[in-house]
Amino acid sequence: MIIQVLADEGVDTVFGYSGGAILPTYDAIFRYNQSHRGEGEEDPMRLVVPANEQGAGFMAAGYARASGKVGVFLVTSGPGATNTVTPIRDCMADSTPVVAITGQVPTGAMGTDAFQEAPIVNIMGSCAKHVFLVTKPEQLEATIRTAFEVARSGRPGPVVVDVPKDMQNWVGEFLGEGLLEIRGYRQRMDSLKSAKLSERKCRQFFELLEHSNRPLLYVGGGAINGNASKEVTEFARTFNVPVVTTLMGLGALDTKDELCLHMLGMHGTAYANYAVEDCDFLIAVGSRFDDRVAGKVEEFAPLAEHVAHIDIDAAEIGKVRLVEWAHVGEAGRSLRQLINYGKKSEFDKDFAPWVKHVQQLRRNHPMNYDRESELIQPHYVVEELSRLTDGRAIVSTGVGQHQMWAAQYCDFREPRLWLTSGSMGTMGFGLPAAIGAQFACPDRIVVDIDGDGSIRMNLGELETVTNYNLPVKVLLLNNQGDGMVRQWQRLYFNENFSGTDKTLHRKDFIKAAESDGFEFARRVTDKADVAAALKAFVEFKGPAFLEVMIDGDASVYPMVGPGMGYKQMVTGEWITARELKSGREAMDPLTTPDLF
């Protein structure tokens, strides 16, 4: 029943590790494939076995983010299930739709501290969008089907179904239809789907836009999850409004579009943050004023006379920043209604001076680094990779400096090319997420840009890459340390590098990759060899591993320190900062040209 519901929901790949309490379901996958596989055909439901259950969870997350479908992972009880707590929380924090099916000891043994028993409902209840415990076998089929509905509807998220072994062994009639009764939830989802901007609300929005001279779209991951990239692009181009995106919103608008100012926030581009400082009307779409974006909230977008907010989750409206105009609904549908109203009412406010201003900001304060250094600068490596792939590769990352360099220096020409752990900041995310993405998109180039600290967390998944002969590319930027923490220690802790120096570690990543079956496994130590090595790496037909020994002191800039506002942004030695403005110029950035 479980596997047939998965098949009915369109699932073609399941990630998971077996064990006693989930064996009946694993056997069902075997029997399903045996009965549905034609001669010479591949299994209709691929079973991907990772090195660790955490890897299974992140593979499902990578699959979901790259494909837009619900990812599925299947693990056993006790430690198998508790190993997936981190992926579940990660998916919840980044609104990623997955269904996790966990085995459980038989119902009669629950609560007795039976072998490999864990209170999954209690543990996962605080981490997941919803948790189901199946105690009535006749509800099993409907429960699995409902889990998919909950995972993908509204604000997407992870759903856990805990299935005791006696529930799996039950034999009964398969109905092929039916859902659990969750009336209140469905009523909310129906209202969301039918949520329509009234004529009055549309008029109010365009009155604010008419009053504005410097509007700015602030787009988050909700635009990606809600498949609203087309509407974001059309809105920006129709009304000539510049766009900044969050870390999770990268790709909602082609980063090479002249209206795209790339990423804002703690490590956002200087020109994006300056645009936020200068705007007078901030339009938030699928974004939540996260602390890594808003920083010192009372100083965020200080010249914005009005803030508008579109989000699918009513709880996000006014949670961090009070707004003058808001709408709870799907990002794409909401923007479409505004676009149609604007066209119908022939809205034609000229924002050309503002667009000219932000483009001047981009020219005057571009991303930059020490291009003359004899040491390999990570920015250069990422920049070259993006050039080779034309910003069309799927890129996953771990967490740390390499993650920020990838976000800053990679182009993303379309949505669902950028896979990273945003809110949770989970080291070890990159490699398994890349595996999941490659299964979801077998014809795309998939690159895991990783750090030596992050990749250690799930290093065992290198073998998963070669086990399934996946053409995943692993680019390791090795600075022999936990670079981001070291940067903070350098700035705020008197260079006391407590616990972050990895120079004594003896891991030979090339030998590790070779031992796991990588035929392409190279190390680059000379700057002159980077371009050729990257080209060979990208063009290699199978799994490829490239380690680049980067400048250990390279830092991520710009940087807005914790608890600080954008005015305190540090741009470092190689990015030009602008002088603080005062008086009339501070009140209206368009009165005089940018000082630089």
- Mean pLDDT in consecutive groups of 10 residues from the start of the chain, 596 residues: 98 97 98 92 96 98 98 98 98 98 97 96 97 97 98 97 97 96 91 91 97 98 97 98 98 97 97 97 96 91 97 94 95 97 96 97 97 97 98 97 98 98 96 98 98 96 98 97 90 89 84 98 98 98 98 95 91 90 57 47
Local structure of residue 558 (DSSP, 8 states):
S
> Residue 563: its pLDDT value, please?
84
Domains 2-192 and 378-549 equal at CATH topology level: yes
Q: Catalytic residues, which ones? A: 53, 115-116, 165, 484
Please give the structure tokens belonging to residue 184: 């209140």
Spans of all domains in the chain: 2-192, 195-364, 378-549
Taking alpha carbons only, the member of 390, 213, 33, 244 closest to residue 232 is 244
Look up residue 534 and give its DSSP letter: H
Cα–Cα distance measured from residue 133 to residue 115, given in angstroms and rounded to the nearest whole number: 18
Query: What per-residue confidence (pLDDT) applies to 583?
Result: 43
Please state whether 572 falls in left (phi above 0), alpha (psi between -120 and 50) or beta: left
Contact 50, 56 (CB under 8 A): yes
User: From its phi and psi, is residue 172 left (phi > 0), alpha (psi between -120 and 50) or beta?
Assistant: beta
Q: Which fold has domain 2-192?
A: Rossmann fold (3.40.50)
3-state secondary structure string across 385-405 = HHHHHCCCCEEEECCCHHHHH
Q: How far apart are CA 182 and CA 255, in angstroms?
A: 41
pLDDT of residue 595: 36
Strand positions, DSSP E, 330-444: 394-397, 418-419
CA distance 96 to 151: 8
Question: Which architecture, in CATH terms, is 195-364?
Answer: 3-Layer(aba) Sandwich (3.40)
Residues whose CB falls within 8 Å of the CB of residue 253, separated by 6 or more in sequence, listed in order: 219, 229, 232, 233, 236, 243, 245, 259, 260
- How do residues 428-446 score in pLDDT, each as one tens digit? 999 999 999 999 999 999 9
- Kindly report the three-state secondary structure assignment for every residue of 450-494: EEHHHHHHCCCHHHHHHHCCCCCEEEEEECCECHHHHHHHHHHCC
Do the Cβ atoms of 323 and 317 come closer than 8 Å?
yes
Residue position matching structure tokens 């990779």: 385
Instruction: Give the pLDDT score at 596.
Output: 29
Instruction: Report pLDDT for 586.
Output: 55
Q: In what order do the strands lie in the sheet with 260-263?
A: 260-263, 243-245, 215-219, 281-285, 306-311, 325-328
Question: pLDDT value at position 584?
Answer: 47
Class of domain 378-549: alpha beta
